Structure 1
Amino acid sequence: MPVISVTLLPGYPADVETRLVARLATAARSVIAASPAGTTVFVNHANTYQRDGNVFSSGGPARLVASDVVKGFLEAMQQRDLDTAQSFLAGGFAMRFPGSAVMHSLAEMIAWARPRYRSVAKDYERFEEVWRENDTVVFCSGTLRGTWNDGRDFSGIRFIDRFEVVDGKITRQDVWNDVAETLAAQA
């Protein structure tokens, strides 16, 4: 049964502490075969501490929830608010869609999609996060719906998107979907 104790300096909002506790418990259970009921995480608070000759009395900044960053980006893209969508992307952003070369701008992606469909939207089934050393990977999956270029509507096409988020910005997006298979079946 893991018991984890964390000491934080003042200044972190309650939702950040709650997120930290939940993630520490999940991380422990990913390594130790313990039940949620057998996993305990305590948060202690310190007013000040010294490290490397420096005295600290407040915590550092909290990271954004990576799934929320991705949701904001996807919502802006669906609304075709490209300026807002761009604000979620890091410099050097790269994306790859099925059958495409690596693209580095939203304009490239829109030009790539233009011969495929007139419009597309996503219905989400789930968002999942994987926390790594320097970034968070966010997977979202669900189905696509929209209108083909010939005016016919489509729906129920499976997709999975994989995003890498660093410091609140998306650095990479990889997309997998069944659009090509659906078009081939309709031909």
Structure 2
Amino acid sequence: MNVASTAAESLVRDYLQAMEQRDLEKAQTFLANGFVMTFPGTGEMTSLSTLVDWSRSRYRYVRKTLAAVNIAHEPDGFVVFVHGSLSGEWPDGNTFSDIRFIDRFEVRNNRLERQDVWNDLANALS
């Protein structure tokens, strides 16, 4: 792994940690102007506060346990894939764990430009 791909991985890890801690101010520092994110059941969102508001009815908190981070080199940056499992608490106070997720990040100029998320949270509710 070269210095640039190591920096891209660190950027993603630091962003995920800030989001888990709900330190939105710090998380914002990792984002490029025009950052876009999608989560299961959403259209494109462009602000972290919108994400937090959207997630409020879905869970009280969520933690990510990373199984692996994979980096693809692009001509103008990197695509960083993170996968593992989610644990947390539903709005009713019950806990959940071992729910699969994959996050895909586009990294350019040492900033996150896009995040796409896939997970099995909806399956855990049924």
Query: TM-score, length-normalised on structure 2?
Result: 0.95
The 10-residue stretch of structure 1 (71-80 or 169-178) with the greater mean CA deviation from structure 2: 71-80
Identical positions, percent:
48
- 1:109-129 superposed Cα distances (whole Å, 9 cap, x missing partner): 011101100111100000010
The ranges of structure 1 where at least 4 consecutive aligned residues each deviate by more than 6 angstroms after the TM superposition are none
Shift of 1:135: 1.7
User: Which structure is higher in strand share?
Assistant: 2
The one-letter code sitting in structure 2 at the alignment partner of 1:19 is N
Mark the runs of 5 or more structure 1 residues left unpaired by the alignment: 1-17, 21-61
Kindly report which structure 2 residues correspond to 1:121-132, keeping only aligned pairs within 5 A, or say none: 121-132=63-74
User: Is structure 2 residue 51 aligned with structure 1 residue 68?
Assistant: no
TM-score with structure 1 setting the length: 0.65
Partner of 1:27: none
Q: 2:46 aligns with which of 104, 115, 132?
A: 104
Secondary structure of the residue aligned to 1:181 is helix
**Which residue does the alignment assign to 1:55?**
none
The alignment of Structure 1 onto Structure 2 pairs a total of residues equal to 126
Q: Say whether 1:158 aligns with 2:100.
A: yes
Q: Residue type matched to 1:182 in 2?
A: A
What RMSD in Å do the two structures reach over aligned CA positions?
1.5
Cα pair 2:5 2:78 within 8 Å, conserved:
no
Match runs of 1:29-68 below 5 Å: 65-68=7-10
Structure 2 residues without counterparts, runs of 5 or longer:
none
Q: What's the counterpart of residue 37 of structure 1?
A: none
CA contact (8 A) 2:58 2:91 kept: yes
- Structure having greater relative contact order (Cα 8 Å, sep ≥ 6): 2
- Establish whether residue 144 from structure 1 lines up as the match of residue 86 from structure 2: yes
**Alpha-carbon shift at residue 19 of structure 1 (Å):** 2.3
Aligned equivalent of 2:23: 81
Q: Which residue of structure 1 lines up, in the alignment, with residue 2 of structure 2?
A: 19
2: CA distance, partners of 1:91 / 1:63: 21
